[in-house]
Structure 1
Amino acid sequence: MRSSNVKTTVIILTIFSVLAGCSPQQGPMGQRGGAGQRAIPVEVKQVSQETFGQKLSLSGRLEASNQVALTSKASGRIMQVHAKVGDQVKAGQPIVTLEGEEINIQLQRSEAALLSAQARYKEAKEGTPEETVAQTKNQLTDLQNKYDTAKKELERTTTLYQQGAISAAEYEKAKAALDSAAISLENQKEKLKLDQKGPTESSLATAQATLKQAEADLALSRLNASNLVVKAPIDGVIGSLQAAVGSNVGTNTEIAQIINLTKIKVKTQATESQVGLFRNGQEVEVKVPSVQLVTKGIVSSVSPLADASKSYPIEIEIDNPDLQLKAGMIASIEMTGKPHDALIIPREAIISREAQDYVYIVEDDRAKMVAVKRGESDGERVEILEGLSAGESVVIKGQNTLTDGSGVVVIDPNQPNSSDSIQNKDRQRGPGNQGNPGRGQGQGQGQGQWEGQGQGQGKGQGQRQKQGQGQGQPQGQGQGNSPASPENQEPAAAPKG
C-alpha cells in the first residue's frame, strides 16, 4: 500500500512539472520561458506568397429590367379591350380604345380653321391679284367721274345761289356732295397704291401667326383623338390589366402593367468590404436554383451610396430570351476578384483590437505581436497588405492566450501532443528498488496489475491501467540491479532477464 501511494504521488508531481515547466530556465520540450512562466503550446503557419482572388457569394432577387405602368391620357368609357394578362405585346400595340365623340368633333373644327388660316396667309404672302388691281382701277375711274360731276354741279349751284335763284340749303347740299366725292376718290387712290405695292410686313406677320395658331390647335386635337387608343409604350408581357368594356376611366388612371422580361435585373447588396470588388461592365456568374439555371451576368449599376442598412445596392443584367426567368425569383451571385500576387495567412490568425488588426509571429521561441493591414478575404484566407513578410511563422492556434513576448512551444498538429506523451509515460513509471527484471508470462485484457519481483537487493512494482474486460497477473523472478518496470505496451510475454 505504501508503494502504491508513493507511485501516485510521483505521477501527480510529474504531471505538474510538465504543465508548469521543468525549471525557471527550461520549459517542457526544451523551450525557454521566464522565471516561473510556462511555454505556451501554439500552432503556426508560414506566410505564403500566392496568386489570390477573393471569392464572393451574394444572394439577390430577380426583377424585370423594364416595368411600366400603362395609364390613360384621356377620359371616357372603354369601348374595346385588345389584350389580356400574359399576352406579349409590342411597343405601339393598342391595349384599350375609349369612346370620344366630342374629341372627334373638335378635331374636325380644327381642320377647318387650319384651311382658312392657310388661305389668308397665302393671300398676304403673294399680294393683291391682278384682277383685284384692275377692279380697283375701274372703281377709281368711276369715283373720278363722280367727283368731276359734283364739281360742275357745285359751280352751277353757286351761280344760281348768287343770283338768288336757289336757296342756301340747295347750295350747301351741292357743296357737301362735292366734299364726299373728293373723300371717296382719295380713298380709292390709296387703295390702288396698296394693291400695286403688295403686302406689308405687318400684314404678313399677322397672317403667319394666325396660321401657326391653327396648326397648333389641329395638332392638339389630333393628339387628344389619338389618346382615345391606349397603346403599349414598350415591348413586353402584360403582367396585370384593370380594364373592362363599358367602364369609365379618367386621365392618369392605371390600366395595365407591362413587363419586359427579355432582360432580367438581379438586385443585390454588398458590404463595405465587398463593394470594391464590383465595377460596371464586370462579368459575374448568376445561379437561379428554382429553374436550375447557371448563366453569366453583367454588372450594370454599383451605387456609390450606402442605404439604411449600410449596404451598397448593386444591379446585374442577365439575358432571358426564352422567358424562363420570372420576376421575384431568388438568385445567387458568384464571383472571384481579380487574381493578383499577395501575402496570404489564415483568417483565424488575425486578432482585432480597437479597430486595429494584429497577428502573433514566432521568433526565437517567443511570440511577437505585429500590427497588420488586411486586404481582400475569401472567408478562409486573408490578404495582408502591410506588416508581414513571406516565410514568417504566424500563430494560428493558441494566439488568444498570448501576450507580446510570451514563451511558446510550436507543436505539430499532425503528431501527438508532446506533453501528452510525457504524461502517459509518467503514468506508467513506478518507483522500485534495485533488482533484476522479472521473468514470467501472463495474458489479460482491460484492467490489470503488472508486478515484478526480484530476489536480492530490492523489489519493484509498477501499474498500468487500460479499460476493457479481464484481468491478468504475470509474475517473474530474477536477480540484478535494475528497477522492475513494464513498458508502455501490452506484451505477450515479459522479457527474460
Structure 2
Amino acid sequence: MKSEVATPRRWTRWIGGVLLIALGGGLLWLLNRPAMETPTAETPEHALPETITLSPESLQLAELSIETLRPRDLIRTLRLYGRIEALPANQVNLNSRVTGRVLEIRAQVGDRVRQGQTLAVLDSEEIHRAEVAYAQAKRQLAFARAELERRRKLAQMGVYTHPMVEEARARLASARAELQTAQAEQRAAQNAVQTAQAQLAKANTALQQAQAQLARAERLLQAQLIARQEYETLQAQARQAQADVEIAEAHLQSVRAALQSADARLESAQQAFQLAQQQAERAEQVFRGQYLASKEVADAESAYREAQLALEAALDELRLLGGRPDGGHLLTIQAPLSGRIAALNVTVGETVTPDKPMFRIVNTDAVWATFDLYPDDLPYVRVGQRLRFTCDAIPNKTFEATIQQIMPEAEAGSRLVRAHGMVPNPDSRLKPGVFLQAELPIVLQRNALIVPAEAVQTLEGKPHLFLATGRTGEFTLRPVLLGQQVDNQVVVRSGVQPGEQFVSKNASLLTGMLFGGGEE
C-alpha cells in the first residue's frame, strides 16, 4: 500500500506540527508510543505501508540524513589502563662485593650518572689482604725469574762451581738481614700500636671528665651559680677533648695499618729466608755431589712456573673482590650503567656488606608502557599492534607504543594479564609509576554493511530500514537482519545491498508518520 501526499497545504501543516513536537520535547513516535501496540491477530501483516512520500516542504523540515551503504570494518575501541615502568634491563641494585667502611659518597638521589662513574669509595680489609697476597706473589715471581736466569747462565758454563755456593751464602745472609730488619720493624709497629692505644684510652678518660664537668656546669648555669663565660670555657674544653679522641683514633688506625704492613713484610722476609736457606743447602750439595746442571735449571723453571700460577691466582682474587693491582685497600663502587640514582641506602662512615644494596640506578631513556588486560580483551590484543596513550602527568600530549610482549600468565591474585610496549623516552618525561590510559582500535568484522543504531526502526517486532527510492521525498521500508552492535554501530547481515541509500538520521520521524496518520 502506498501513502501519497493529498494536497501540499494539508501535508505541510501536518508534517510541520510533527516536527515542532519532535524538536521541542521528543520524537513524535515516542509521544504516540501508546498508540504503537503490537498488532493483534486481527491486524494483517501486509497492513504495514511499504512506501512513504514527503512533500519538498516536509522533506526540508524533517532534516533527514541520507547515506550510501558501503562495506567497511566494524571497529571497537578498546580502552586500556596501565602505568609506566622501567625496563628490567635498565635498572640495577648496586652492592659492594666485600665488607667495607664507606669513606666517600660521590652521587646523590636524582643525580644523572654515566657508566663507569665512581659513586662511592670504601675501605676494605679484604681488599687489603688480597693486595698483600698479590704483592708477595709478585715479589716471588721476580725472585724466581732472577734465579732461573742465574741458573741458566751457570748451566752454560757446564757445572756449578764454588762461586755458586758463595752466591747462595750471600743471598742467605741478605735474606737473614732482611728478616732481622723486618722483625725490628714489626716490634716497633707493635710498640706504636700499644702507645696509640694508651693515648686513646687517656683521651677517652679526659673526654669523660670534660663531659662530666660540662654537665655539672650546665646545671650550675641553669641555677645561675656560675658565669656563662666559665660554662663556655668548659664547653670549649669538652670540644677539644672530643677532637683529641678523634685524633687518637685516627692515629691508632694509622699505626695499625703500619703494623699490618710490617707483618706482611715480616712474612715475606721469612719466606725469602726459608727459600734462601733451601737454596744454600742445595748449593752445598751441588758443590759436594756435582749434580747435573740440567736438574738445577729444571728446578728453577718449575719454581718459576709455580710463581707465575701463584701470581695469576692472587690477581684473580684481587679482581674478584673489586680491587686492582697497586690500588691499596680502597675499593671504588662504579656505575654499571648510565641513568639516575633512584635510591641511596648508605651514609659516610657506615659499614656495608655484600648483601646490602648501596645504590639503585634506573635508566629511563626507554621505558615500558605496561597495560592491564582483562580476559575479555585478550583475543583482540597481539604483539606488534600500535596504540596511543596519554597520562595525567603530561596533559595534552599523546604517545605511541608498539606491543612487544604479552605475559604468558595472569598476575597472582588477579585475572589481569600484562602487556608491555617499549616507548623511547630520551628526555625522561615519562616517569616510572605514572598512570596512563590508552585506546586500541580493534577490527571485529571486515567488509560489513554498518548503519547507525538510530537508523534501525523496530516495526511489528522486526528491524527495518528506510531506503531512498531515488525519487525526491520517496522512501521504502525494508526489513533487515541485524548482526552484532558496537556502541552506536550495527551490522546489517541481510536485507540490503551495497550502494543502496538509507535514512541514517531522523528515521523515527518517518516511523511516526506511518503510525500517526497522514495517509489518504
Q: Output the TM-score relative to the length of structure 1.
A: 0.51
Residues 1:211 and 2:308 are matched in the alignment = yes
**Structure 2 residue aligned with 1:305, among 400, 409, 428?**
409
Corresponding position of 1:332: 437
**Structure 1 residue aligned with 2:516, among 417, 421, 428?**
421
| Pairwise CA distance, 1:70 | 2.0
CA distance in 1, matches of 2:486, 2:36: 43
Corresponding position of 1:99: 123
Per-residue deviation, residues 305-324 of structure 1 (Å, max 9, x unmatched): 34454433111222222222
Corresponding position of 2:292: 191
Residues 1:315 and 2:420 are matched in the alignment = yes
CA distance in 2, matches of 1:192, 1:258: 62
Cα distance change, pair 185–211 in 1 and its aligned pair in 2 (3 A): closer
Corresponding position of 1:29: 48
Residues 1:247 and 2:350 are matched in the alignment = yes
Corresponding position of 1:113: 137
**Structure 2 residue aligned with 1:258, among 351, 361, 365?**
361
Corresponding position of 1:57: 79
1:22–1:28 CA contact under 8 A, matched in 2: no
Corresponding position of 2:97: 73
| Pairwise CA distance, 1:186 | 13
Which structure dedicates a bigger proportion of its chain to helix? 2
Report matched runs for 1:416-455 at 5 Å. 416-417=511-512, 420-421=515-516
**Structure 2 residue aligned with 1:229, among 320, 323, 332?**
332
RMSD: 4.8
Per-residue deviation, residues 224-255 of structure 1 (Å, max 9, x unmatched): 25382222222111122122111121112122
Identity %: 19
SS at match of 2:115: coil
SS at match of 1:218: helix
| Pairwise CA distance, 1:193 | 6.1
CA distance in 2, matches of 1:290, 1:231: 33
Per-residue deviation, residues 313-372 of structure 1 (Å, max 9, x unmatched): 1112222222222222121223334798422557989xxxxxxxxxx8889x999999x8
Cα distance change, pair 379–219 in 1 and its aligned pair in 2 (3 A): farther
CA distance in 2, matches of 1:378, 1:68: 45
SS at match of 1:61: strand
SS at match of 2:509: coil
2:99–2:126 CA contact under 8 A, matched in 1: no
CA distance in 2, matches of 1:116, 1:223: 21
SS at match of 1:287: strand
2:121–2:332 CA contact under 8 A, matched in 1: yes
Report matched runs for 1:125-140 at 5 Å. 128-132=151-155, 134=157, 136=159, 138=161
Q: Output the TM-score relative to the length of structure 2.
A: 0.49
Corresponding pairs, count: 316
CA distance in 2, matches of 1:17, 1:51: 35
Residues 1:294 and 2:398 are matched in the alignment = yes
2:387–2:440 CA contact under 8 A, matched in 1: yes
SS at match of 2:321: helix
Report which stretch shifted further, 53-62 or 111-120.
Answer: 111-120
